[in-house]
Chains A and B, each alone.
Chain A
């Protein structure tokens, strides 16, 4: 099916199922239970999972395949967002032209930056991309938002105002939409104690995620993908065979830049505001972390890593002391206070600490990221079942 072999087809179907059923999977706990704190099945976070999934998949095409570590990819995401919001401001709230322009602008931007940065490799390449991204951030945050030439609206973020031209808007909706269907539409399905939210915006993002995953799958399996891997393994040797690697790395760079632009465009489509912090080097660092945490060079890894980090940022940061108190309230007073004070530094405002510790643990013990962890568990389970049989299947990387 779709020119995929059997294993890839299975993987692709799993991804499709996971994405489409996300509103169920992310919402395992009844709404009124204490564990509802851990539910992630609300539209905004699910959209973010999908969007950052796309971002990380794209980044993985560059980093996972060629080994070029870019510290500036957030700039392309930011540029995409700005382009999309400008389309909202000038044309209408329809998301298609916005996303189209976002990808296009990100492609041009990444072509220009990639052309310059790819003249160097290794850490020099990383620092070059970092420098370009930080310059873009600094310009967007202040210089390009001065009153006479306001391209980015600075710290507040670019947004749509009532007096913007919006020449194609007519009587169309006042929120981002796809031919009249508003992104914020949410259909809530009450099943017993559960409330599952189906959000149109999320499903748009999910469609793009599936498409993005499919393209990445095809790239991984193509001759082009093979050359990219060869670049990672030994660029010098590749050059000796008469292959000029530059066009290939540049193509990978632009493709991943377009993925970032798509993610940026989708972010603006879900929430029509583009902030400059999206371009900061820490945002670029975040996608590096997502990819490596999930498993660089694997197909599924980046999506898992993106989900993992976004889950932390949004769920752990909201656990405050009163929530903790309610968890441990079944214990006697002294004991519950003791547990609250132990857990306290790691949640709520301390979520950075937990994240940092987890990075260190994952990188130290699972160099292949979460995917490797999953494989280890899986192979152990299988070995237990089949008594050490089927070893050959257990060791093939499940990309």
Chain B
């Protein structure tokens, strides 16, 4: 088709050819590639899809910094970062499978529609072989579904809902971040130790899918140790002022407030709770306590002094004391002048994990990558010993329980690690009812061929 003939007969001929092409697409469009976007040149393109506008833009920016750093390290620039500490030694700092790593970026706007549009453009236009990043579970599930259909690998960024690797799990999708169940499992023993087993909890829950799974998980594990759930109030996502939700807490007889909120919701609800002086109250002869099950550095910064003494959980914190973590904090800190956030660490680790899986599989073919990642055990990326479970593509690793520090010395140590809950305590069966039960399956991997 390199020659176009512009007379009437030629036009009819090429029209017929186009028509035939449309009618028999499998012959024309699919044979060119063994799998979607097989890299043909000397570079391979990764797609970084993060929120760049909207309320999570700062988190997205942090994820982007980490991903750029990972690309540098893969291409053998900079100090090599976690390539030095990673237990798998397949990566040589010469790109992936000898191809230089390039990347494209997109804006999810934290909307599932926009995220899919931007992921599609990276796949259809820029030839990305994997999509990485994101900052909400809705987006993660939506983009994961898209990548499954398109035949590329998806690695979710910050997504904490059980569904991502629960009822919505997909063969082409992987999650390094922890989830609501793990938060609850890690928090419960610490809560029992600090507050006793005779407590009455009042839940404020963001009224959408993530909030519900989070509330469900926390309620299940705290009730198992003897707590009573007094009330669960759903708050609209668009709420800015939570005073009308906070005031009833005082008269409900509850002595613990659980805020199943994230981002701006959490910053506002916690600030309002502190304004109403809940933490200085005495109820049922006990000190009133507040729990925020999912913490992030940016939320902690937004809530300022209000987080002092408030317990929560995290996937990773830069203060973690292991070789991989120290190396990562050094690389990130020296380049950008601040320690990495936990979503940045997840995105960084995932780029390395993807690259390593390609090296070990010897191909960019998603099905090969899936096989290489399933059941993969590794260490040296910051979280300690970690493994990708075969059945649901969820990473299992230690979970951190953190508390807002009483006397932070810099802007970066506002959270302190209270406990590192070992992997065994947060592990669950792949067919756990909170994760879609026995019906939830990954399906088969799709390479787009």
Contacts and interface: CB of A to CB of B under 8 A. Distances in A.
A186 B33 CA distance: 13
11 contacts: A39-B125, A42-B125, A45-B121, A138-B238, A141-B208, A186-B124, A271-B146, A314-B117, A317-B118, A349-B52, A349-B107
B1 A352 contact: no
Contacts of B64: 320
A156 B1 contact: no
A278 B137 CA distance: 17
Contact of A156 (B61, B107, B137, B443): B137
B234 interface: yes
Interface of A: 39, 42-45, 48, 138, 141-143, 145, 147, 153-157, 159, 162-163, 175, 181-182, 184-192, 197-198, 200, 203, 271, 273, 275, 277-278, 313-314, 317-318, 320, 322, 348-349, 351-352
A142 B236 contact: yes
Given A154-B208, A188-B32, A348-B52, 11 more contacts: A39-B125, A42-B124, A42-B125, A156-B138, A186-B124, A203-B22, A271-B146, A275-B113, A277-B111, A314-B121, A349-B60
| Residue among A182, A314, A317, A322 with most chain B CB within 10 A | A317
A184 B237 CA distance: 34
Given A187-B25, A317-B118, A278 B210 contact: no
Contacts of B209: 145, 153-156
Contacts of A182: 25
B136 A155 contact: yes
A275 B115 CA distance: 11
B53 interface: yes
Given A45-B121, A145-B209, A187 B136 contact: no
Given A185-B22, A190-B1, A277 B112 contact: yes
Nearest to B441: A162
B18 interface: yes
Interface residues of B, number: 57
Nearest to A138: B236
B429 interface: no
A191 B142 CA distance: 35
Given A155-B136, A275-B142, A314-B117, A191 B2 contact: yes
A162 to B, nearest CB: 7
B81 interface: no
Nearest to B60: A349
A349 B53 contact: yes
A188 B236 contact: no
Interface string B146-168: 10010000000000000100001
Contacts of B53: 317, 349, 351-352
Contacts of A187: 18, 21-22, 25, 28-29
A277 B29 CA distance: 33
Contacts of B168: 156
Contact of A44 (B52, B117, B207): B117
A197 B106 contact: no
B439 interface: yes
B176 interface: no
A203 B23 CA distance: 13
Contacts of B124: 42-44, 186, 197
Interface string B218-242: 0000000000000000101110000
